[in-house]
Amino acid sequence: MDATKHIPEPKTLQEAIVYFADPDRAFEFAKKLRWPDGKVICPRCDAGKNSFIKTRKLWFCYACKRQFTIKVKTIMEDSPISLDKWMTAFWLLANAKNGISSHELGRALGVTQTTAWFMLQRVREVMKKRSFDTSKIGGEGSELEADETFVGGKVRNMHRSRRLRFAREEGFAGAATGKTIVQGILDRNLRKVRATVVPNVTRETLQNQILKNVKYGSTVYTDNAVAYDHGMQRRFVHDVVNKTEAYVKGRVHVNGMENFWSLLKRSLRGTYVAVEPFHLSRYVDEQVFRYNHRKDGDRKLNDADRFAAAMSQVLGRRLTYSDLTGKSDSPHHAPTGARETQVPF
């Protein structure tokens, strides 16, 4: 019997917890997301001939002679965490406007803080949009905003030894000292944003990011930073606003990006508090995902839509603890071998 047939799919967190508490329903839901046409394909050899072992909720592939679970070749591979906890984590992070800390998630799911932190980082890996690397936004008639922000603690709040160290390394200790730079581009027509961590604010760095992400002939608005003062006009319709005089000059402003920065910094300051620079890009990806999944055209997306969008991207993603931290001692267990026999969920 289909475990999902008699209960409607969840629309709220409370409904999601009840729905996915049943292992069979959670399994069938994940199966439908992974194989929408109902035909199960081996994730290792792409063969379609297999048999399902119901008592262990795994398949045996007749082509490669290996077993596989629904988690294989997904972000959840080699994880002993059950599907109901994974799906709750996806739901919470996809819909919490200011994010959710690993301590809070750990208490909610009944796992350790380290486990919850690792789960959240893997969910953020899923939220990263791969099409950003291959597609461009904008075009003739499209209006875009480009801006950058500095993320990090204030110099006046740093310990004196840290201020002196930055002064020696950078030659001064100004407002941007010790901070990480994030550049963002907003497509006003699509209401979609792209943001990435950049190493510096030189003309080459910032303009290369715009060239990489924006189509030729687009209208691009920026502030009057010197990094944008030469070269932009040859490829785009470029106009600037001087924030020392006014924040808005007709249609020329970057207030859309300023709105995104406020959302990002609210989550960093209020929820995560301390984020290492080498992890910052994942937190940026998290905020980009939520921002870009507020609407689909004119249709307002709800919590279930954002959850489904995040879950639909788990395939082909992989993030190990050693890759994440540079350490080889996983807090969970050693990766399983080719003929895995662990309990699937």
CATH number for position 217: 3.30.420.10
Looking at the domain assignment, is residue 281 inside a domain? Answer: no
Provide the angle, in degrees to the nearest 10, between the axes of the packed helices 303-311 and 13-20: 50
Q: How many domains does the chain have?
A: 1
Q: Which is it for the CA torsion 16, 21, 24, 30, positive or negative?
A: positive
Q: Which residues contact 334 (CB under 8 A, 6 or more apart)?
A: none
Helices (H) and strands (E) in the chain, counts: 11, 10
Query: What pLDDT is recorded for position 230?
Result: 84
Q: What residue numbers bound the domain in which 184 lies?
A: 135-153+179-275
240 — alpha (psi -120 to 50), left (phi > 0) or beta? beta
Looking at the domain assignment, is residue 130 inside a domain? Answer: no
What is the distance between the alpha carbons of residues 102 and 105, in angstroms, rounded to a whole number? 5
Looking at the domain assignment, is residue 199 inside a domain? Answer: yes
pLDDT in tens, 92-146: 999 999 999 999 999 999 999 999 999 999 999 999 987 666 789 999 989 999 9
Name the token pair of 35: 């194989």
Looking at the domain assignment, is residue 27 inside a domain? Answer: no
Of 105, 98, 91, 83, nearest to 3 by C-alpha is 83
Q: Which is it for the CA torsion 176, 179, 181, 184, positive or negative?
A: negative
Q: What Cα–Cα distance (Å) separates residue 156 from each residue in 174, 249, 262?
A: 10, 34, 21
Residue whose structure tokens are 């398949």: 59
% of residues, the chain, pLDDT over 70? 90
Is the model's pTM score more than 0.75?
yes
User: What average pLDDT does this structure show over 152-179?
Assistant: 77
Looking at the domain assignment, is residue 265 inside a domain? Answer: yes
Higher pLDDT, 324 or 328: 324
Looking at the domain assignment, is residue 258 inside a domain? Answer: yes
Name the token pair of 169: 């390394």
Residue 277 has pLDDT above 50, yes or no: yes
Looking at the domain assignment, is residue 251 inside a domain? Answer: yes
Looking at the domain assignment, is residue 104 inside a domain? Answer: no
